[in-house]
Amino acid sequence: MAHGRSRDSNDEGGLDSWLERIRERDALVVYEQDDEYEVFKTVLQYFDSHGLTYALPQIEYPTGNVMPSTSKAIENAKKVLLILSQNSNNAKFSLETFLALEKCVKHDQLCLTILTLRGFERTNIAHIPMLQNATIVELDYNRQEICLEAVVKHIKEQDVTLKSVIPAGNFATGLAWSHFTGYLKIILPDIPRLIRESKTYRENPGRFVEKFFILVPRSGRAFPLTEDTRISKEDEELLLKKTVNGAPRRYSPVVYRISADNGQHHFCCAEIPSAFDTIGKVFEEILEHITPQQRAHEVERFYYKLQEILNYQLNDRLGDTVEVILYDDETKDDSATASHQLLKRFTRTGATSDLPPSPKLEKKNIKFDVCLLYAKCDQKYAGKVRSALEDKRKRVVKVELPDQSLYETEQRVASSAWVVLFMSTNAMSMSKSECMPLWMANLLSVSLEDNELRVIPVLIDANPSGIPDFIRWVTYISVEEDGYQDRILDIINGKAISMKALSPVGNVAYGLAWAFFMNYLKHALTDLRNRSEAKLKQISADPRKCLATLFEFIPMSGKTINKLDEIETSKYGIENFGSVGPIELMVSGVLRKFDVNMYGIYKKTYSKEPREYVKYFMGEFAAPLRTLRSMHELFAGLNNQQLAEQIKQFKEEMDYILSQVTTDENHLRYVSENCKHLLYDDTKENLIDVLLKEIDRMERAQKVVIKLGTNTRARNAMREQ
């Protein structure tokens, strides 16, 4: 892909100078060899005449290996322009190149733009998330200059980062996990009992469904269900009291009455998840450049991920207590209403399984149980797996790259129930003649969405984080595991497998951070200064010893304890003074309480004198840590290294979000001014020591600001005199 002659091809120099040229140019232009004439004549000539500098990955790359040149170039470029045409379907990428392109979408290292040439429509773009989420410009030859002007403008817009367009990475995945661990996991086991014990259930036999319905509107917008004229809220409250992380919590699933056309009334517990609401809120309140395709992608990802979590073997007991409903709320007929969707469920026997439409592949007969897809360098491992499977009478077909023809490869992959993809460091950086074509990546990606075939990545000497998102599915296996061939057989046979073996979930910190901000922080910090001052007065504390700041503690291990007042050092202890006063708000039609606690750090003494408090503070362990920790300990395949990476990423995302709302959203300025996320290594540092050091730093910084302000006012007064 994209390796024509370059204006730089006569430049001499090593790898460093070549990469430096890439970094200096406005964009890296990637295209298929067969499109070189049209690209130079149409696109590059326009760039030359409009002062846009660009670089082209090429055969003259210092090592002479074109595919690593593409991935290295992508990693170092400011922006990437990927030009697609009818010739692009067989364009070849190494897995390293796919990973580099995903970084365009996930880590905001650069921004990916796609330009489609004559005869290649947007709908023909491979259904790979990293491509579907990119900025796409279709070259209309009747409006050629306008289209190319849009490309140049986007490339030159230095201030537009991916984060200003959409929180990238597995945004919706983080939201789904957050909602499961923070709410559904707690209430679902008790839902049938709560319903059966309710007055509404006893008075309306046969008309109160013993299920919890989760509505997921495609618009990404959460709204009070009572906006639907056929839905009303019952006065009865289902109350569930639980102790979560050492603190008493109250959960109140709402009971709704749904009126049918025949005059009958049905009852159920339902919600539009507050975590899902983050998708709509972020898009409407924070971001401006979201496309319908990007929004739809995140909504469907949320739906699928939540279904996947709820349907895992370890959660079978929850399966009959909940149903997730994805529906299009922007159509013009009755199906756009929540009441229509719920009434459909009441009039049927059993749960429904309505699934959103996905891009479909041509249906093909399944001829093989499994297809082994591997590079020649990994044939030893593929041979062992093949022998083990054939001994169990499994129909096995192999695809060895680069020896297999493209046609044979496509036929064998498409006609197999499972694909076992062997991944080694060598295979991921295969040369151009051996790498994965774009059509194959599309085939694997779309098949996953359609559930027509399943992909099992087998890691030989590669890191799980090297698995591209578009081929992550149920599980990955390492050849270092004992009996890994048997594990593959178990998966193909459909047997239950250990949840710790499930696929690494990718980067979920984005979604967790945005959900935490939109659904909690911006509410809990409302009027925090006045609330804290009132609390200090109530406990007769010196207000000079307390900052009007909520500290969100982020230990690197992800481990939290139930009570902060259990933490101590040889010199200090912590006392809990309780709530600073809850904030009650209606959120999506449901009354919610948001609260934080006040604490005091006191000196330890052996006397019976009243405690001497050195500082007061408001603080808590950041709630998303419990989600990450649950993913690590339960069944998400998040290993220790990935857990640490996600925790760091969460801290960085929170800092970014707070900086954005400070500059972009004046009405949310109080959030960043009154909140501090404190990341520390809890294996080496005690929270009290870390906190005292940070409070001291913040107090000294405030004094400097006050002093500078005083000096400025004094100088201004002298000038006036």
Over residues 54-72, the pLDDT tens digits come to: 888 753 444 444 444 677 7
- For residue 575, give the DSSP letter: E
Residue, of 267 and 466, whose pLDDT is higher: 267
310 HSE (CA, 13 A, CB side): 25
Residue 358 has a pLDDT of 35
The residue whose two tokens read 């939540």 is 306
Residue 471 has a pLDDT of 56
Q: Is the overall model pTM greater than 0.85, yes or no? A: no
CA distances from 608 to 92, 605, 611 (A): 77, 8, 8
CA distances from 568 to 600, 601, 606, 697 (A): 12, 9, 15, 21
**CA distance linking residue 488 with residue 229, whole number of Å:** 52
- Per-residue pLDDT, averaged over 513-526, amounts to 85
CA distances from 238 to 160, 245, 276, 629, 717 (A): 47, 22, 22, 29, 64
Q: What phi, psi does 118 have (nearest 5°)?
A: -50, 130
pLDDT at 337 over 70: yes
**pLDDT band of 546, cuts 50, 70, 90:** very high
Beta bridge partners of 422: 458
Alpha helices in 517-591 (DSSP H): 522-524, 528-538
Tokens of 1: 């892909």
Residue 469 has a pLDDT of 55
Question: Which pairing describes strands 436-437 and 416-423: parallel, antiparallel, or unpaired?
Answer: unpaired
pLDDT at 719 over 60: no
pLDDT at 348 over 70: no
pLDDT at 376 over 50: yes
What rounded mean pLDDT belongs to the chain? Answer: 76
Residue, of 73 and 96, whose pLDDT is higher: 73
Tokens of 612: 């001497």
Residue 423 has a pLDDT of 79
Helix (H) or strand (E) holding 297: helix 292-310
The whole-angstrom distance between residue 490's C-alpha and the CA centroid of its chain comes to: 29
Widest distance between CA atoms in the chain: 98
- For residue 503, give the DSSP letter: P
Q: Do 656 and 282 touch, CB atoms closer than 8 A?
A: no
pLDDT at 323 over 50: yes
Residue, of 380 and 508, whose pLDDT is higher: 380
In 3D space, the residue among 346, 361, 238 whose CA is nearest the CA of residue 325 turns out to be: 346
**pLDDT band of 166, cuts 50, 70, 90:** very low
User: Could you tell me which residues come within 8 angstroms of residue 172 by beta carbon, excluding any fewer than 6 positions away?
Assistant: 279, 298, 299, 301, 302, 305, 511
Residue, of 67 and 243, whose pLDDT is higher: 243
Residue, of 180 and 433, whose pLDDT is higher: 180
- Per-residue pLDDT, averaged over 672-677, amounts to 86
Grouping H, G, I as helix, E, B as strand and the rest as coil, residue 278 is helix
Residue, of 486 and 713, whose pLDDT is higher: 486
**CA distance linking residue 379 with residue 583, whole number of Å:** 62
Judged by average pLDDT, the poorest of 216-225, 318-327, 480-489 is 480-489
Residue 549 has a pLDDT of 93
Grouping H, G, I as helix, E, B as strand and the rest as coil, residue 92 is strand
Q: pLDDT for 412-422, tens place per residue? A: 887 888 888 88
User: Could you tell me which residues come within 8 angstroms of residue 369 by beta carbon, excluding any fewer than 6 positions away?
Assistant: 389, 394, 395, 396, 416, 417, 418, 492
Q: pLDDT for 646-665, tens place per residue? A: 899 899 888 888 877 654 45
Residue 32 has a pLDDT of 80
